[in-house]
A and B are shown apart, each in its own frame.
Chain A
């Protein structure tokens, strides 16, 4: 059974940093691309970033480019999202998702999300 478990969310001040983690199990992690998708309170889904199965190719939405860094450790079956220079508009539930392919594809399985709140 595919399982994705996010952690690392919390309350952070504007300008602060946070690292989100996503522990994956139930599939061969290195053979799937992964994505982060966020959802602001009461709003729709926003694709944020993606990474290939090998980790050598990364993609970012324009809204987070330069502030967010996606990475993965295939030896630990874990996906990461480093978030810097946080803004109020980054407040959201952040979902980790497994993509259908090795490079980039639409997500199929999703975690339950971790809430990031940016506030002073």
Chain B
């Protein structure tokens, strides 16, 4: 069974840039996996950030961007702010109606 991989944790300085990645235990992520990204703070529902690789959801600032970097999907946050400190999850489409989340990345801004 294919596992979707993410960095367990990452840290960034205020104002800095960070790139989180989303890979596969076997194979490469491409646009055919329709990668999407979600932000979640403790006790809250997830918030959609990016869909179909690089499209921003309504209301999401352009500090957040999505792409394919090498064999992985990537979420880049530029000009990191304190309230970007959250858990970030990627979601990949595996075909036949099935979706799989990555394990999530806990981002610290300090």
Chain A contact residues, CB within 8 Å of chain B: 35, 37, 44-47, 50, 57, 59, 61-62, 95, 100, 103-113
Contact = CB atoms under 8 A, between A and B. Distances in A.
Contact of A112 (B38, B45, B87): B45
Nearest to A106: B36
Contact of B91 (A59, A62, A106): A106
Nearest to A111: B45
Given A44-B104, A45-B46, A95-B45, A104 B51 contact: no
Contacts of B91: 45, 47, 106-107
Given A57-B97, A106-B91, A106-B99, 10 more contacts: A37-B101, A45-B91, A47-B98, A47-B99, A61-B98, A62-B1, A104-B93, A105-B34, A106-B52, A112-B45
A108 B93 CA distance: 14
A107 B48 contact: yes
A109 B59 CA distance: 12
Nearest to A50: B97
A59 B89 contact: no
Given A47-B91, A59-B96, A61-B98, A110 B46 contact: yes
A50 B99 contact: yes
B98 A113 contact: no
A42 B47 CA distance: 18
B57 A44 contact: no
B99 A109 contact: no
Contacts of B23: none
A107 B36 CA distance: 9
